[in-house]
Every structure is written in C-alpha cells, then in structure tokens.
Structure 1
Amino acid sequence: MTPPHDPHDSRGPAGEAPTDEVDLIVAAWRREAPQLDVEPLEVLSRVARLARHLDRLRRGAFSAHDLETWEFDVLAALRRAGAPHELSPGQLLVETLVTSGTMTNRVDRLVTRGLVERRPDPADRRSVRVRLTAAGSDVVDAALADLVEAEHRMLDVLGREERRALATLLRRVSAPFEG
C-alpha cells in the first residue's frame, strides 16, 4: 500500500519535483481521483511509453537496412536457430506470435526479396522448411548490430547492476504472460 498522498500536491513520489510526463500524469490523477491508488501507473505507464520509444528506435535501426520490424523478427528467428538457419513454418509461428496465414504471406515476401528460401522437409515430403539465405543472414546481422548499439545508448543512463536488476524485475512481471 502506498503512503497517503495529498491529492492537491503536484509533486512526484517521495515529494520530489516531477521529472517526466508520467509524474505529471500520476500527480493529476491523484488530484482528480484521490479515491484511487494509481501507483501502478508509475510503473506501467512508463513501460508503455518506453515501449513506444523502443518501437521507434527499432524501426529506425531496421529501416537503415531496408527492413520492416516483422521482416527482422522472421529473419532473426531463423538466424537464432543456428546452422542451417532454418525452421518449419509452425516453428516460425511460435517464434513470432502470428497466425499461419500471416506467416505464409511474410515468408512469400521474404522469398521474393531473396532473404529466405523454402526447401523440402527431408523428414516429411508434405512439409517445407524456411531457410535463411546468405543475403538474409547478412542483412539481419547488420540490423542486429545497429539495434544493439542503439539499445546500449538507450540504457546508458543505467549502470550494469541497475540493468541486471531491471531485467530481473521485468522478467518477474512478464513471466506470467509468457507461454
């Protein structure tokens, strides 16, 4: 339970001056709806806003390599699979959290661009495997390098131990939603 908060006080948590937009939002809700404990907004509104900033950062890193976010997701799933960098369409569905119709369309588009190829599944002639091409590997590796560099810059405000602690806390919150 949070300590009592004066609804007319526009200061942030612990009485400090607001330092970001969420502090202003929380202060306004505490003023306008004092009967509600809006403490979750202090965390989850920041997570939501940060997700939007991260999405823009990622789109920028990928567009420098002529990739859409979904293209990077598919190529990255194949790259992470290890040699020979191929997965079944069903495995790609699990990795990217999309429907089978969406995945078929995505693979078709990546085949057209020469970034992946479909190959017969040696274990089941009725099935196919999607394999990363050399061009696909080159582009996903370059995009990943730019992404990681940009994400390091984004986290530069935190020390190594703070990053580890934040990762641990976020894992605890997100784990119940994972498969």
Structure 2
Amino acid sequence: MEDEVDRLVAAWRRERPDLDVGPLEVLSRVSRLARHLDRARRTAFAEHGLEPWEFDVLTALRRAGSPYQLSPGQLLTQTLVTSGTMTNRIDRLTGKGLVKRLPDPDDRRGVLVRLTDDGRDRADQALAGLLAHERALLAELSPDQQHDLAALLRQLVAPFDSAG
C-alpha cells in the first residue's frame, strides 16, 4: 500500500540521494493526518453550530465539573490564547447564551465564567459527534495498534508539552 508520502520520499531520494529523508516518512504523515483531523473536527463542531474555538472554551468549562465554571485566567491557561482574545470569546459566547459571567465570591473585582445549560448540552453533543468522527478516522487500526500509536505520539509530544 503506497501513499502520497511514499511518492514524495521516493522523489527526494532520487533528487537528493545525499540527504537522509527518513524523517519525512513519519512527520509528513503526521502533518497530513493533522490536516485531515482538523477538517473532521471542524465538520463535527459545525454539525452542532460551533466553531473550534467555541468548542475549546465550552469543553474547558465542561471538564471543570459542576458548577462548570472557571476564571478567565484559568480559561487562558487551558486554551492558550491572549487575554484580549479570551475576553472577546467570552463576550461572543455570552451573546449566544452558552456561558454567563458571574461575580467571583473570592475576589470583588474578579469574574467567573459559567457554562449555561444550553452550553453544556452543546458541548456534550459536539464531543459525542467529534468522537464518532475520530473513531472513523482510527477504524483501520486495532485497539492494540491505537494504544501503541498513542504511546509513540505521547513520547514525541511530551517534550513540547513540558517546555510550555
């Protein structure tokens, strides 16, 4: 079974036999897979009327557990965006009725962002849809292969996650 990366690597080996193009065999596939995954995720979110950034914020709140609320600073940490971007996102989600701002009882100047019932339902439905799409992407791999791949990818990603 040959894929586009095999053809790309063969062409580079022909044109530049002096270079070790072996890393392309792994990382070009990871890059291509990331693009396919991004498309599948966008489709899954759109089916529930959400943009990827909306899903990120809503699911950060959902994962927090009842009462499904976090400070804007905690949301910044989990979604890796700037303060101004997060303020804009909270404003837009509030306008859609998916979150609400509440005064922080521990900080007179602070606020908490809480998921509304509609926001929780949309997050739950979008997550279920996403998982269905992702299961389809992994359907060619056995559970053991999926486990092994997850372990190998964790090993590659861990240095980046610990550096940030």
Q: TM-score, normalised by structure 2?
A: 0.97
Q: Measure the CA separation in 2 of the matches of 1:35 and 1:94.
A: 44
Choose from 142, 153, 158 the match for 1:170: 153
Choose from 138, 148, 157 the match for 2:140: 157
Q: Measure the CA separation in 1 of the matches of 2:60 and 2:28.
A: 29
Larger Rg: 1
What residue is the counterpart of 2:55 in the other structure?
Answer: 72
What residue is the counterpart of 1:130 in the other structure?
Answer: 113
What residue is the counterpart of 2:21 in the other structure?
Answer: 38
Choose from 94, 98, 101 the match for 1:111: 94
What residue is the counterpart of 2:37 in the other structure?
Answer: 54
Q: Measure the CA separation in 2 of the matches of 1:144 and 1:74.
A: 12
How far the C-alpha of 1:19 sits from its partner, in A, is: 1.1
Amino acid at match of 2:154: R
How far the C-alpha of 1:26 sits from its partner, in A, is: 0.7
What residue is the counterpart of 1:11 in the other structure?
Answer: none
In structure 1, stretches of 5+ residues that fail to align are 1-17
Q: Measure the CA separation in 1 of the matches of 2:21 and 2:143.
A: 30
The DSSP-based 3-state class of the residue aligned with 1:98 is coil
Query: Matched residues, percent identical?
Result: 65
Q: TM-score, normalised by structure 1?
A: 0.89
Structure number with the bigger relative contact order (C-alpha 8 A, sep ≥ 6) is 2
Map 1:89-100; keep pairs closer than 5 Å.
89-100=72-83
Supply the RMSD in Å over aligned alpha carbons.
Answer: 0.8
Cα deviation per residue 1:69-109 (whole Å; 9 max; x = unaligned)?
00000001000010110111111111111111100000000
Amino acid at match of 2:53: W
What residue is the counterpart of 1:144 in the other structure?
Answer: 127
Q: Measure the CA separation in 2 of the matches of 1:78 and 1:67.
A: 15
Count of matched residue positions in the alignment of Structure 1 and Structure 2: 162
The DSSP-based 3-state class of the residue aligned with 1:83 is coil
**Higher helix proportion:** 2
